[in-house]
Structures are given as C-alpha cells and as structure tokens.
Structure 1
C-alpha cells in the first residue's frame, strides 16, 4: 500500500479531533486538511497555525461539502459529532462519505467508534442513547465492508480522562474532603486521555497495511470510583470519598451544565423522536459504566493492552499515572 500523506480530519477543531491534528502536524510527514464551517473561529485559527495544516470551508452534511473534503486525499478520519447531529443524519452522511471516499480513490477510511453496548445489553431501553447506539451500529456496518474497494480501520476509545476537570470533577465539601459522586455503584469507566487519540491516529496513518481491516483498541484505563479515590489520595495527599448517587441526584447536581430535559442533539426539533433528552442520553451513559462488567471481555482487553504497549509504550496505563503526569488536583 502506498504511504498515506494527505489526510482530512473531520472534527479537527474539537477536543478529540484537535488532538489528532496536533499529533499528525508534529509528525511532519502529513498534509492535513481540516474542514470547518467557520474558519474564523478561535478554534479553527489555532489549528490553522500548526505546521502543515490548512482549513477548508466546507460542510460534511452536504454532497458538495463531502466531495470537496475528500478530493485529492489519501486518508480520512471521519469523526462526525453525534452530539450535534441527529441519528438519521449521522448514518446517512457516514454511508455517503464512504461511497464518495471510494469514488475519490482514498487509501484509508478511519472511523472512531465503539462496541454496541445497546445490543450487548439486549436492546434494553435504559442502555440506548445517541452516541453509543450510533457508534456501535456504524462500527458493525463498517466491519463488513470489503477492504479491496476501500481499506478501512475502526478505532475504539473511551471516556476522556480530561472530563475529571469538567463533568466528573469532584466537589470540595465544607470539611475539605474531595467528594467524587456518580450513579455508578461498583461499575467502572474506561478512561482514555485525549492525547492518546492523536498518538493512535498517527500510528494508523503511518502503518496503513497493519491497520487495514482492523478494529483497534488502545488499552483504556478501566477505573472504578474506589480506584479513582485511591489514586487521587495517593497522588495529591488530599482526603477523598466516593458518594454513590441515584441518577436523579446526579442530574440535579449537574444542572449548572445543562437542563436534564434539554433535547439532545441540539439540532433536533422539539417533537423529533430521533432525539433524546440530556437525561436519557447520559442516563444510558451511566448505565453503561455501572453494568460494564457484564459485557467486558478479559481476553480481548489483554490483547488490546499488549498491542497498545507495543505501539505506544509511553502510554498511561492507570488513572494514577495520568493524574501524576497532568498534576491533577481535582480542580483546574
């Protein structure tokens, strides 16, 4: 397979996509195109300032936009924002992008996705949300496409570790104790640092033959809240506790971020049954992690960790290692 040199990164101005763009830019061997509807935004300007990066004013939710994005490219990281685009449109435009990528002669189509947890839990409604359902179904679909027509790679990640500075940040009680609170019980969260997304995509585009037809995990940091509290105390010397909440209690706490009854994604109409409320989508998200052990595959996790150790030996293997590396103190 010919080397991948010209790559388009969808979502390149967002949290995950910008990590990918920064890593590819640092490699110094790629010509990176970042499509955006608003090239004058602060996020877009910051990305454009990086070496070997150019912005393209284009909308991936249009035929013309997709054709301009994928023209003269070797590879694409097709990272649609399912938190902003409703479920039917994510499916249609991903399928259409794949077809246009074939027509455009791309050498590698990379899709960030995840396991179909909704299916794994027997299609129970409490495990259905926008991001998880879309991710799982598109992963299943792409895994059945022929690689001789268009080489593809699926990459699995996890919950951004950086969310410990935002939605998952502990509150400091009046007695000075840090309280990590969540409706998770004895469950566990598969944390992934944002920088890992950039590192893995650089490896994938540098090794297209080894990546083609593969679903690549990255050795996520499975962490219970008991582990989280212990890592925090050992790292900072501060006292911390875990408070197991009901989902209603958790949503009451996070009203400062978002009204739980707000429709999600934001682009959906009030009477659109393909949307969710914020409560529904994050309620399912918490159910994923509370009952995560029911669907985890130890053999697969061991293989994934071994692969990650081989291609990225400097990765953080535990949440404690990430806390130490980032001087995590519970606040930012």
Structure 2
C-alpha cells in the first residue's frame, strides 16, 4: 500500500531474528510489515529493481543461520535483516544493459516483496515462459543445474551403472534419479517417509526406494538393494548414510558431495565419517559440488531439459505455499522433512 505523497510502497519481509544452534523454529524468523521501498532506482544506480514472484526454500539456508558458515556462495544472514536466497522476479526498472523493464529473471533475492540488487551478475533472464514460472526456483533454476552438473560433470555416468541417491524426493534428488534412468542406469533412492518412497517408485520412475528411518542397519539395507555394489552415489545427506555407502561402493566408484542436510543442525559437532579408508581401497573419486562453478553450462542444460519437460518425459513435484508469511514454517518444515518435492513460496503471481 502506497503512503500518500511519499512515493513509498509497503515491502513485506521475512526477517532473520538471530544466530541459532540446532533445528530452526518458526520463531527464529518473523514477518515485518513496516518496511517501505521507493519503486525507483537512484540516479547513480547500475542495478535492477525487482518485484519478487516466487522464492526457493532450500536446505543450504540453514547454514546461513549461524556464524560458522562454509557455503562459499552466500555469507551468513545478518540478524534483523531479510533472509535471502534464490527466487523468480519481474524487473520493474533496470540500469543494466543486459536487462530491461518487464524482463523475468531468476537469481539471488531477498525474502521480501521487492528487492533492489546492485549486483546483476548472478541473474539469468527467463526466455522460456511456456512452462510454470515456479520451475525456475527448481527444475529450471539452481536445483536443476545442481542435479545436471553434479551428475553428468562430476559422476561421469555410463549406461547400465548402479546409482544411489539420498534425499531422493527433494528438489535435486528427484532430478538426479530421472537423469540416471534416462541414460539407462539402475537407480535406487532413499527418503524419510512411505509417502516419499511411493512417490519415487510410482511417479519418478526409480527402480527401488526405501525409507531410511525404518532401516536399523544402513549397511545391510544397501547390500540388499546393491548386492554387487554402487557405481555412483549422489550424496545429499552425509553422516551415517555416507559412511554406509563407502562400504558398498564398487572399485572406481564416484561420489558427488552435493549436500549434508543431516549435519546442518549440528555443525558444531558433526558426525564423523569412519569408513573413508574405503576410498583408498576402492580408488574412489569423491568430489564436492559448488553449482555456481557450472553456471556457464546453463544454455546446455536448457537444451537438455526443456525437451524432456515439453514431451512429458520427466516428472517434477513441487510443494507450494502461498504468501511470505508462510516462509518461516516452510523453511523450518523443510529441515524436518515435512515437504514433499521442491518447496516454493508464492510471493505474488504475475
């Protein structure tokens, strides 16, 4: 709502309260409705003014809620400022020649209705609007690029190989599994509920899936699904799962370290990995993934993924909530496994 004669409009925001330990709660964030913004860039600006449409809720955001931070992409949140992450937005004004008013983009924005960005390097113009715009928070955005670069660039997959994906129903895992199936791999995923296991097998096309919470011995479980061993492990959880996988890898196997969500709430005392010696015995290649290193491949990725979407050859599951005020619950719930599919916040529909 505009303030009479001021040129200001309300800019609702989801604010970060203070640094935390353990699991985040809704109360660690709050919604601010008192902030206002002028919908015009300063004359000396080289940036862009954005109206945010969709926000991406991702596990890595937990890393930014404490002073100890190893993400390498974003710095920790500052108390009493808006959370920030990836989102889809419409440009209301641009002082950058790469963009013009009315363009749709995805990139790093604040958890707020409007964002002014002075750095436009991390923004991608959305050229294909014949798919849902929310897809650019996931399958066509950072998570999609993560799955694509992590699987094809780091794992060097071959037809017929045996692939295991943890947190397989999440934004990245569901795509890795389908990419692996598309080239003829045998794929097993793990998830944290029967609903998610059924989703993996019945909608996303995994060969097998299991609920890790119901497995008293992960090593035994993996031997059941991979009696001859694992060629590729796409790791989204770390911890005990990674430790068990190391015992079940084949010689010359590859492990992509994409995420370690099991450790994000305990970085002060993370679980140790005890079976790393298997990396020597089996000549494993283990590599950490930072997706921004592969953003130059984004055009190649679109050429690969868009036909699959248009032809209905890939399934994609979103868990959408409405309104910025839903943000704290969405993030807290994501880190407790309550979401099914890619968690998205609708800020405004274009």
The TM-score with structure 1 as length reference comes to 0.34
Higher helix content, 1 or 2: 1
Higher strand share: 2
* TM-score after normalising by structure 2: 0.32
